[in-house]
Amino acid sequence: MEIKNKEITSRDEDFAQWYTDVCKKAELMDYSEVKGFIIYRPYGYAIWEEIQNYLNKEFKKTGHENVYLPLVINESLFNKEKEHVEGFAPETLIATIGGKEELQDRLIIRPTSECLFTNHFSHIIKSYRDLPKLYNQWCSVVRREKTTRPFLRGSEFLWQEGHTMHATPVEAKEETLRMLDIYDKMGRDLLAIPFVKGRKTEKEKFAGAEETYSIEALMHDGKALQSGTTHYFGDGFSKAFGVQYLDKDGALKYPYQTSWGVSTRLIGSIIMVHGDDNGLVLPPYVAPIQVVIIPIQMNKEGVLKKCREIKELLENNGVRVKLDDSDKTPGWKFSEYEMKGIPLRIEIGPKDIEKNHLVIVHRVDRTKEFVEIDDNLVNKIKLEFKEIHEKMYKKALAQLLDSVTEIHSLDELEAALNKGGYAKMMWCGDVDCENKIKELYQATARCIPFDQIPFDDVCPVCGKKAKYVVLFARAY
């Protein structure tokens, strides 16, 4: 039975419009009066809270502490690291007036907090005993963007930014990769999104970083989305901000630094990886509501009572449940909660009560089954979550693997990019070739993946000797 949602544009018809429809209709966000600044509605914010819960546990397991630093950076401080300033200056929002006075040192609303952290570190790191410093901050940052889209690119977005200081480059580099692994694991265990891990090219790396790594996700329309980054800074910021400590050997030394972050852009990834023509599809472990119970003929004797009983049972066992006992029709509720992507639906009507079972339906593929109400019910529901999660991950992984095309010439590159997904090619490492591809095909180097298995000798752009396997794609 094909049942199609009438309020959401289909993905094939207009993917951009589909995306906007889902954001609005699933009540994740609303537009505000100011371009690029969105309202995170309770349901959208709750997804972010699940991500926070997951990451806070992982961060704390690995010894990180949460802190909070100011919203604003005085301009003179911001200007200390040259590359960093050049990278961010074009998109900063600056406060110039306080009350009625014009400010002497203007206040930059943080686009990222490397300057603030490094400056603070210079005050608190004096001895090798103060290292490592492993800090994380949950906050929002502001970057003036020309083109904005909900969750994908906004003038303000919510994120976490980790900032750490280490005694040695080796230790700092390990941290950079450790955090990338945590992000990757989050994709596998929480978001059901397979990421491609890799290193950014010189052209694509973060302003001021020596090395940038990223996790890249593939959207349903074949475009890539950078979903998280980690950076190794060497001692560049340390030197610029004068962070020095006295080591065991009595020498003054500069510590080595990292930073890493994921943002509410992850919500965009979830939408565009898993969503379908009926709306959002949420993986169970990140879903703010995991189960929605819909009573059928709820004025009939015992229906609501049974619904409440099941709700309480699941809730007491740590399942996030909503019972919709509003007077909307069941059909309306089915559509509504599919639009909102709730992974598992339970229907309870007079017929079910008679037979002592529940009807359960998976959002991802609408598979429907009857589950007997017995002492093992909670475990059965939890197994359903596992099954749904695995289904969603496998589906996304198949799509990702299917999208990778090995290419050996510019023609093949163009064809692969037009098809969508990743074009895997050998590359000489020269930025000119990156620029040429950008210009010709509007695609960028997403990353130099960790899996480096060469399959050709020359760069198809310039014909010179190839150094790396690299993935190109059109990206958000």
Q: Please tell me whether residue 284 binds RNA under the rule CB under 7 A.
A: no
With CB under 7 A as the contact rule, the residue among 103, 359, 371, 377 that binds RNA is 359
Handedness of CA 151, 153, 155, 157 (dihedral sign): positive
Least distance CB 124 / RNA (angstroms): 27
Pick the closer one to RNA by CB: 27 or 412. 27
Q: Please tell me whether residue 52 binds RNA under the rule CB under 7 A.
A: no
- Applying CB under 7 A, which part among 48-56, 77-85, 139-147, 243-251 lies near RNA? 139-147
- Applying CB under 7 A, which part among 168-176, 281-289, 349-357, 409-417 lies near RNA? 349-357
Q: Please tell me whether residue 31 binds RNA under the rule CB under 7 A.
A: yes
Provide the mask over 2-21, with x wherever binding to RNA is found by CB under 7 A and - wherever it is not: -x-xxxx-------x---x-
Pick the closer one to RNA by CB: 330 or 429. 330
Q: Please tell me whether residue 296 binds RNA under the rule CB under 7 A.
A: yes
Provide the mask over 217-236, with x wherever binding to RNA is found by CB under 7 A and - wherever it is not: ---------xx-x-------
Number of residues that bind RNA (CB under 7 A): 62
Q: Please tell me whether residue 183 binds RNA under the rule CB under 7 A.
A: no
Pick the closer one to RNA by CB: 458 or 475. 475
Least distance CB 5 / RNA (angstroms): 5
With CB under 7 A as the contact rule, the residue among 114, 161, 347, 384 that binds RNA is 347
What residues numbered 363-382 form the site for RNA, per CB under 7 A?
Answer: 366
Q: Please tell me whether residue 41 binds RNA under the rule CB under 7 A.
A: no
Q: Please tell me whether residue 349 binds RNA under the rule CB under 7 A.
A: yes
Q: Please tell me whether residue 265 binds RNA under the rule CB under 7 A.
A: yes
Pick the closer one to RNA by CB: 297 or 418. 297
Q: Please tell me whether residue 356 binds RNA under the rule CB under 7 A.
A: no
Decide if 76 contacts 147 (C-beta within 8 A): no
Least distance CB 269 / RNA (angstroms): 10
With CB under 7 A as the contact rule, the residue among 48, 119, 131, 154 that binds RNA is 154
Pick the closer one to RNA by CB: 218 or 339. 339
The span from the CA of 340 to the CA of 381, in Å, is 20
Residues forming the site for RNA (CB under 7 A): 3, 5-8, 16, 20, 25, 31, 33-36, 90-91, 143, 145-149, 152-155, 157, 206-207, 226-227, 229, 263-265, 278, 296-299, 327-332, 334-336, 338-339, 347-352, 359, 361, 366, 438, 442, 475
